Amino acid sequence: SKRRIGVLVMSYGTPESLDQVEAYYTHIRRGHPPTAEQLHELTSRYEAIVGGFFPLRENTNKQVQGLQETLNREHPELEFVCYQGLKHAQPYVEDGVEQMVKDGITEAIGVVLAPHYSVMSVGGYVKRAKDKAQELGLDIEFVLSYHMHPKLLEALSDRVERALTKFDGAERQDIRVIFTAHSLPEKILEMKDPYPDQLLATSKAIAERVAITNWQFGWQSAGQTAMPWLGPDILDVLQTLRKEEGVANVLLCPIGFVSDHLEVLYDIDIEAQALAQELGLHLERTESLNTDPLYMETLSDVVYQKWAEKA
Ligand code: FEC
């Protein structure tokens, strides 16, 4: 029989229904329940996005299934079995590890549905999975980042190329491309976290492939806490571009995210778009990767390579 390899596919997680938003938000806040006002604010954002309330759940399900199919198609001599492990919703990261062990899996690879490593993002998923695996005696190795994988770069470059055609009449060099990712507290810089450099490397590589020079990087979706977060925030960037640089066309390319979810469908499509309208800017964004075969193949490659390294 074929050698069976468990794959723990980790993703952010989203509630399943409106009545789970409070528990979800409390989990993100490390056990501190939100105020009624904060809860109301988050709930209204979910109510405002298109594609149903919680598109991330279905998108993650499809990505996990797509990865399993790709792995098994590309490596028919092996049997890969994918398990989900979510950061802030069920099945949690620990649940995924536990299920593998229950199913008799003895060797596993973990991968996060986010291409860039930060100790606060990917590092958090990995730590939780490692702790649980150690407790249960499961042999598991992790993919930490895959932000320069040629197929990922190709998929993202294709999207930028396509979106650049949406500015009818505008010359390519007059469209400012802004690559974005989720902001994190500035304190990651003191820890020499690779996150900002990895994001810049992806941005540069895409810009080179698409042959654009009019681009920059911006942070989005920063949390509302007292500590400083990495900036500039894209909302401030839009203001500056319009008011001080006279820019009229902006393309946002959220390279830090791989799926349609709140941070894309609300923070960009609703919040940033409303500001753009007010400023008289033509704003577009690149499509999310979701189950693009090139993204599935990227994940399949990095999981297989990680397994082959130790096998
Ligand atoms: O569609 C959905 O239901 C989920 C959308 C969603 C994604 C996502 C990805 C990342 N986050 C990251 C870091 C932080 C830090 C805090 C934080 C807070 C929130 C809140 C919501 C939320 N995040 Fe998230 N994030 C998503 C949703 N995130 C909702 C709480 C309300 C708010 O602040 O808007 C601050 C936590 C704290 O208070 O200490 C930090 C990072 C990513 C990208 C990497 C990844 O996907 O893991 C980093 C999707």
pLDDT tens figures, 12-61: 999 999 999 999 999 999 999 999 999 999 999 999 997 667 999 999 99
How confident is the model at residue 225, as a pLDDT?
85
How confident is the model at residue 52, as a pLDDT?
67
Residue 214 token pair: 């009019």
Coil/strand/helix, residue 298: helix
**φ/ψ bin of 100: left (φ > 0), alpha (ψ from -120 to 50), beta (otherwise):** alpha
How confident is the model at residue 53, as a pLDDT?
76
Residue 206 token pair: 């895409």
Q: Which amino acid is at 101?
A: V
Task: Identify the segments of the chain with pLDDT beneath 50.
Answer: none
How confident is the model at residue 224, as a pLDDT?
81
Cα-to-centroid distance, 222 and ligand 1 (Å): 9
Binding residues for Fe-coproporphyrin III: 12, 29, 45-46, 125
Distances 189 to 98, 197, 198, 219 between C-alpha atoms, Å: 34, 10, 13, 14
What is the 8-class DSSP label of residue 283?
Answer: E
Backbone torsions φ then ψ of 179, nearest 5 degrees: -85, 135
Taking the C-alpha atoms of residue 149 and residue 306, their distance in angstroms, rounded to an integer, is 14
- Dihedral over Cα of 150, 153, 159, 162: its sign: negative
**Ligand 1 residue neighbourhood (C-beta within 6 Å):** 12, 14, 25, 28-29, 42, 54, 56, 114, 121, 182, 184, 223-225, 256, 261-263
Taking the C-alpha atoms of residue 35 and residue 29, their distance in angstroms, rounded to an integer, is 11
How confident is the model at residue 169, as a pLDDT?
84
Asked if 263 and 123 count as a contact pair (C-beta separation under 8 A), the reply is: no
Of 259, 263, 267, 289, which is best to mutate to test ligand 1, by the most ligand atoms within 8 angstroms of its C-beta?
A: 263
Taking the C-alpha atoms of residue 90 and residue 83, their distance in angstroms, rounded to an integer, is 12
Asked if 255 and 180 count as a contact pair (C-beta separation under 8 A), the reply is: yes
Cα-to-centroid distance, 103 and ligand 1 (Å): 31
| Stretch (H or E) spanning 184 | none
Taking the C-alpha atoms of residue 266 and residue 278, their distance in angstroms, rounded to an integer, is 17
The pTM score is: 0.96
